[in-house]
Chain A
Amino acid sequence: MPKIKLAENTVQQIKEVCAEFGNKEGELINVLHKVQNKLGYLPAEVQEVIARELKTSVAKVYGVVTFYSFFTMIPKGEFPISICMGTACYVRGAEQVLSEFKRQLKVEVGESTDDGKFSLNCLRCVGACGLAPVVMVGEKVFGRVAPTQVVNIIKEYREGCASENAKSA
């Protein structure tokens, strides 16, 4: 399954995380959270290292990674866009907002644009239902988004002027 060889310090980083949790199999989910937080995603090669450290099978690690929607095996874009598809946002028009993002970026849900700038995902309820429909770009929340605003949101990030805001917000 693995195609690339991980850099030595990446392997070291993963091992450190595993050790932090006592290399215990029961801590697998916590380990995955922490590793994804450091590396951004969990490709097969990373899963192999984790399996070895926790003395469990790669199949089991893979089973857990693919079960939970929080874990991803595909790297996200520089500006990950998430559309809230909770019920409150749905009845206030989230679907139209989503299809406008798909149309503008020419990607499907779960994909990234060719230049790696944007990735598009859905999420379930940010809990800001008063602001429905809600779109998140990185950590920044855009509330009461109308389909006509979508083009401006993308433009804002494409031109880079908002990149600082997104990271610090």
Chain B
Amino acid sequence: MTDYKMHLLICGGTGCKAAESDEIKKSLKNWIDELGLEDDVQVVFTGCFGFCEKGPIVKVMPDNTFYVNVKPDDAEEIVKEHLLKGRPVQRLLYTDPVSKKAISDSKGMNFYKKQLRIALRNCGFINPESIDEYISRDGYMALGKCLGELTPDETIKEIKDSGLRGRGGGGFPTGLKWEITRNVESDEKYVVCNADEGDPGAFMDRSILEGDPHSVIEAMAICGYCIGAENGLVYIRAEYPLAIERLKIALNQAREYGLLGEDILGTGFNFEIDIRLGAGAFVCGEETALIHSMEGLRGEPTFKPPFPSVSGYLGKPTNVNNVETFANIPVILNKGASWFSKIGTEKSKGTKVFALAGKINNVGLIEVPMGTTLREVIYDIGGGIKDGKGFKSVQTGGPSGGCLTKDFLDTPIDYDNLIKAGSMMGSGGMIVMDEDDCMVSIAKFYLEFTLEESCGKCSPCRIGNKRLHEILENITNGNGKEEDLERLKLLSNVIKDTSLCGLGQSSPNPVLSTILNFEDEYLAHVNEGKCPAGQCKALLKYEIIEDLCTGCTLCFRNCPVGAITGERRQPHYIDQSLCIKCGVCYEKCKFNAIRLS
């Protein structure tokens, strides 16, 4: 950031791009050129700011003004008022939902106050397509330090001392993994970055690669130096075109600067990185399946041991780490293991990035120190539940995780506490549910996902999950029995114990955790034929409340099957034998005269 007096940072993440941030950039640029400001003001795309709920976001530097929900038409006012006259555009500032005051600096927002951004340190601050901006924020300093001053063993010791654990879900100590791979003798070794983020509703890794690709490249080179590998591979989902593009640009820049390739920084260390595309298979997040997919095979997992550290890609020792894990490495080496290990809880150090989504006011990407409670995340950062509804559950760990109730709101988040509570950290998806969500349907939703994604190699996962799904289908259709709960539990445990890979071993978790935490809701389905959340259509009955019905005939005219009868200005009536429970009458009625029971 050299000669310009001002910088306009526009969120160039996938979420904001989907909401026309390209148009905003174009429009801002046009107005800047038109008013002759092009030598004073720079307009750049940055990575995700995290506050997706209020996107697209435009930030004005150096005064740190944070504009939310910007539209292309707002560009004129921003340029003329703010840039020319120094008057921030009040109507585009974020309004605090409690105090109703406009806040111009993001540091003053509750959404950011409790966050600590380590892995996301550069997202939203730098132009991800500029290696110079990364370097200006201490980029590639850690690589230089390792190659110049530290031996591989000293570097690994630093990572071990920091207490960093794998951020992809398992939580295996990163330093230990590096050490194991280092100690295996082989003529060739590989560093693999797992960017196959398959957990639906999670976009942490994508945002890091889109917002700060160099941090991952730097860390992979450091890992290569430590374990003795000269080749790295990034396995990334084909569904992330923008992240792939930014990664390619970053790789080329790093090569140009001599930070990748042969004889890096004149130290004699060689390292090259290649990209491998995934093709849409959730199971490929599992490291053995991922390796097979990189070899051009079906992404089926194989039994461990041997672990990839011993025999991985092409049978060579391979160190597989997740994107977020890598993004932490350069900071740890720059600031020291003792700095990092002071953050977090006893056994989980540092921070964790979460993709906060679902029925919550502030959907977005957040990073908090380990040990932050769910309540702080949901109510302080997340701004509470949407539409003033009641909190019911939070789901962590995606299809492998579980649903937690309000009893766990004050549990500090770390690897071990979440497992104790019947869920898991997973890669960082966090979906909030309110009183309208039926937990049996949620369990069924996750099983549908597992069914589709099961590779079919081992029978517990292929057949067992299918049976689990059938039982849940019966329950939501009103054909469940109380014994089904026991059958679900028994079958779930068999699948967990006997499946080949992590996918099957964790797939019954959503079922088990919802039975454990929401047994009442299951019982209401099987014993009383009721869905307390009003989600399971087969268990619902639409009825007209006579006292409120004005006989406007709107429902009668809209009913697709002619199940509603009645005279004009007289209360109407729904014939239950004809009703298909489509809910059109419920949506159309202007007098709240239709109830669900």
Contacts and interface: CB of A to CB of B under 8 A. Distances in A.
B203 to A, nearest CB: 4
B281 A91 contact: no
Contacts of A25: 296
Interface string B400-419: 00000000000000000000
Interface string A130-149: 11101000000101000010
Nearest to B535: A95
A128 B20 CA distance: 12
Interface in A2-31: 24-30
Contacts of B298: 63-64, 67
> Which of the listed residues A88, A90, A131, A143 has the most CB atoms from chain B within 10 Å of its own CB?
A88
A143 B18 contact: yes
Interface stretch (B32-40, B114-122, B138-146, B352-360): B352-360
Interface string A65-109: 001111100000000000001111111100000000000000000
Interface string B296-308: 1111100000000
Contacts of A131: 15, 18-19, 52
A141 B239 contact: no
A130 B15 contact: yes
B355 A129 contact: yes
A123 interface: yes
A40 B445 CA distance: 30
The interface size bin for chain B is: 35 or more
Interface string B422-434: 0000000101010
A46 interface: no
Given A29-B293, A91-B433, A128-B14, A69 B198 contact: no
A123 B200 CA distance: 9
A87 B15 contact: no
Contact of A68 (B18, B299, B445): B299
Given A85-B200, A128-B52, A129-B203, A27 B455 contact: no
B200 A125 contact: yes
A128 B357 contact: no
B238 interface: yes
B562 interface: no
Contacts of B52: 128-131
Given A86-B200, A92-B358, A127 B293 contact: no
B201 A68 contact: no
A105 to B, nearest CB: 16
B361 to A, nearest CB: 11
A64 B200 contact: no
Interface string B539-552: 00000000000000
A158 interface: no
A87 B449 CA distance: 10
Interface in B447-493: 449, 452, 455
B55 interface: yes
B53 interface: yes
B18 A141 contact: yes
Contacts of B358: 87-88, 91-92
Interface string B45-69: 0000000111100000000000000
Contacts of B14: 126-128
B364 interface: yes
Contacts of A85: 200
Given A67-B281, A69-B279, A129-B201, A91 B15 contact: no
Given A70-B238, A123-B239, A141-B18, A130 B279 contact: no
B209 to A, nearest CB: 11
Contacts of A143: 18-19
B206 A127 contact: yes
B536 interface: no
Interface string B192-203: 000000111111
Contacts of A126: 14, 18, 239
A52 interface: no
A15 to B, nearest CB: 18
Contacts of A63: 298
B295 interface: yes
A128 B281 contact: no
A136 to B, nearest CB: 9
Contacts of B176: none
Interface string B271-298: 0000011111110000000000101111
Contacts of B12: none
B288 to A, nearest CB: 15
B363 interface: yes
A87 B445 contact: yes
B383 to A, nearest CB: 13
A91 B297 contact: no
Nearest to A85: B200
Contacts of B211: none
Given A28-B296, A63-B298, A68-B299, A87 B201 contact: yes
Given A68-B299, A125-B199, 12 more contacts: A29-B276, A33-B279, A67-B298, A125-B200, A125-B201, A127-B14, A127-B15, A127-B206, A129-B203, A129-B357, A132-B363, A148-B587
Interface of B: 14-15, 18-19, 52-55, 198-203, 206-207, 238-240, 276-282, 293, 295-300, 355, 357-359, 363-364, 395, 398, 429, 431, 433, 437, 442, 445-446, 449, 452, 455, 587
Closest 8 CB pairs of A and B: A130-B52, A68-B279, A88-B357, A86-B200, A141-B18, A70-B280, A127-B203, A28-B296
28 contacts: A24-B296, A25-B296, A28-B297, A68-B281, A70-B280, A87-B358, A87-B445, A87-B446, A88-B358, A91-B431, A91-B433, A91-B442, A92-B359, A123-B239, A124-B198, A125-B199, A125-B203, A127-B206, A127-B207, A128-B15, A128-B18, A128-B19, A129-B357, A130-B55, A131-B52, A132-B363, A143-B18, A148-B587
